[in-house]
Amino acid sequence: MRILIAEDDPVIADGLVHALRKSGCAVDHVASGTEADAALASAQFDLLVLDLGLPKMSGLDVLRRLRARKNAVPVIILTAQDGLQDRVAGLDAGADDYLTKPFALAELEARIRALVRRGTGNPTGISVGPLSYSQVERVARMNGELLELSARELVLLEVLLLRAGRVVSKDQLVEQLCGWGEEVSANAIEVYIHRLRKKLEPGGVLITTLRGLGYCLQKPAATGGSTE
Ligand code: CA
C-alpha cells in the first residue's frame, strides 16, 4: 500500500512516516500544498493523509482539486483541535475521515485499516487459489499457513494480487517501492520477484514473466470448471 503524507510539521511528519513504513507501507512525504497537488496528479496512491494547514496551497484546496480530477483515493484529514469548521469543510470537500491533533499513532493506524477495509469491500482479504492475503493484517497465507515475507516482498505481492490475472509492469512495481526513500532498480525487482516465486511455487501459485511487459500473478485455471 502506497501512502502520501502531506504535513508541514516535521515532528508529526517524521513520526507518521516512520510508523507507517514500519507497518510495511510505502510512504512518500511532502511538506507543502503545491507539492502534494503535484504528487497526487502524477502518481497513484492508495491513501492520502492530509494536513489542512499547509503552506503554499491549503489542504482544502489540494482536496478540492483532487476530487475535481475525479480521483477517489481515500483521504484522512488532520485538523487542529478547535478546527470544527475545517473538519466540516474537509468532509464536505470529499475527505473520508479526520483526526484532530494531537492524535495517537495507533488511532491513525486503526482509521487507515478501516478505510482499507471499506475500500476493498472485503474484510477477509483477497485470495487466489490456495493463497490468501489480508490487507488489514498485512499477512499472506498459503493453504492457511503463514508465509514469511519481507516488507518489500509483501508490497510486491499485494500489488500483483490486486491485479491478479493482469500484467503489472516493472515500472509500476518500482513505483510502489520507491516511497521507501531509496532507489529501487529494475534489477532489484527481479530479485524480489525471484524470492517471491520461490515462496509461492510450492503452493502452485505462479508469477509469470512477460518479456518486455512485466509480471502476472496467474489466477488458477479453474474458472468455471474444477480443474485441479
Ligand atoms: Ca500544518
pLDDT in tens, 44-70: 888 999 999 999 999 999 999 999 999
In eight-state DSSP terms, residue 219 is P
The Cα 1–Cα 28 span in angstroms is 11
Averaged pLDDT for residues 203-223? 83
Which CATH code is given to the segment(s) 2-120?
A: 3.40.50.2300
Which CATH code is given to the segment(s) 126-218?
A: 1.10.10.10
Ligand 1 centroid to residue 119 C-alpha, Å: 27
Q: Report H helices in 45-169.
A: 59-68, 84-92, 105-120, 151-162
Question: pTM to 2 decimals?
Answer: 0.63
Ligand 1 centroid to residue 36 C-alpha, Å: 13
Domain ranges of the chain: 2-120, 126-218
Question: Which secondary structure element, helix H or strand E, spans residue 189, and what is its range?
Answer: helix 186-200
In eight-state DSSP terms, residue 127 is E
The set of cell numbers assigned to 170 is 516493472
Ligand 1 centroid to residue 49 C-alpha, Å: 12
- The region of weakest confidence among 104-108, 134-138, 154-158, 181-185 is 181-185
Contact 48, 40 (CB under 8 A): yes
Q: Residue 123: pLDDT above 70?
A: no
Nearest to 157 by CA among 125, 109, 179: 125
- Write the CB contacts of 110 (distance below 8 Å, at least 6 apart in sequence): none
Ligand 1 centroid to residue 64 C-alpha, Å: 17
Contact 174, 163 (CB under 8 A): no
Ligand 1 centroid to residue 193 C-alpha, Å: 39
Ligand 1 centroid to residue 74 C-alpha, Å: 20
Q: Residue 181: pLDDT above 80?
A: no
> Residue 10, preceding bond cis, omega within 30 degrees?
no
Q: Residue 23: pLDDT above 80?
A: no
Ligand 1 centroid to residue 116 C-alpha, Å: 25
- The region of weakest confidence among 73-87, 180-194, 212-226 is 212-226
Ligand 1 centroid to residue 33 C-alpha, Å: 10
Ligand 1 centroid to residue 217 C-alpha, Å: 41
pLDDT score recorded for residue 179: 63
pLDDT score recorded for residue 103: 86
Task: Work out the pLDDT band at 224, boundaries 50, 70, 90.
Answer: very low
